[in-house]
Structure 1
């Protein structure tokens, strides 16, 4: 893989702000392996409700291009399209063999104020595409 860890993090963050659906799909195909998975550690209220109804370790999961495309589109529609927020990668990406760790931020478009963020751990295949993406939202 010739892409640096920070370049990967920047491309990843840019995907979530891409307004064109066709360009988003192409970006997904460049970033993820065809059967790649995006796993999200759910917010506390979702975890508590899942445990209450008998799911001890809830995980939110999107697998494959179609599900990833839906996941990214929903995040775009909810946070970016209204013009209130944008996403950006922090300058902290590091790579250890086939794993890249980086942080991201959601910031107010109007004020630049931090509104959220999280940490990603992504596992890459031999072609440099994401096979597993572990997201831990929250700062």
Structure 2
């Protein structure tokens, strides 16, 4: 599960063709993403949410915070968003659900710390 979490975070950090390749390789075509600010489905919907985060926080990167906890095709982990090498300004908690082939099927996101 550590590898899939790394690919998930790489998707959030990527742009353009690189992001499209990560989505195709590691996400189900029917994947859903839900957090307090968004509810989307499919690669295009997910890419649009990622683009929105990149626009709101230009130059920031997603990093893993702590260990991955996993069972039964599910993984939960904390992530941070901030300037590279700095303390994250945003911290969240996501649960990934994988499909039978090991691709990301559903994401349930929670925001623990957000800037005012």
TM bracket (short chain): 0.7 to 0.9
Are 2:31 and 1:36 aligned?
Answer: yes
- Residue 112 of structure 1 is matched in structure 2 by 86
5+ residue gaps, structure 2, are none
Are 2:50 and 1:72 aligned?
Answer: yes
| Shift in Å, 1:118 | 0.5
Whichever of the two has the greater Rg, that structure is 1
| Aligned residue runs from structure 1 range 98-109, under 5 A | 98-109=73-84
| Shift in Å, 1:77 | 2.7
Output the CA distance in 2 between the equivalents of 1:31 and 1:75: 20
- TM-score, structure 1 as length reference: 0.73
Q: Cα RMSD (Å) of the superposition? A: 1.6
Output the CA distance in 2 between the equivalents of 1:122 and 1:65: 15
Is the Cα–Cα contact under 8 Å of residues 6 and 94 in structure 1 kept in the other structure? no
Q: For this pair of structures, how many residues does the alignment match?
A: 113
Moved segments of 4+, more than 4 Å: none
| Shift in Å, 1:91 | 3.7
Higher strand share: 2
Which structure exhibits the higher relative contact order, with contacts defined as CA atoms closer than 8 Å and separated by 6 or more residues? 1
- TM-score, structure 2 as length reference: 0.86
| Aligned residue runs from structure 1 range 18-97, under 5 A | 18-19=14-15, 21-42=16-37, 60-79=38-57, 82-83=58-59, 85-97=60-72
Are 2:11 and 1:15 aligned?
Answer: yes
- Spell out, residue by residue over 1:87-129, the C-alpha distance to the aligned partner (whole angstroms, 9 max, x if none): 11124112101111111011223x6122011111111111111
Output the CA distance in 2 between the equivalents of 1:8 and 1:91: 15
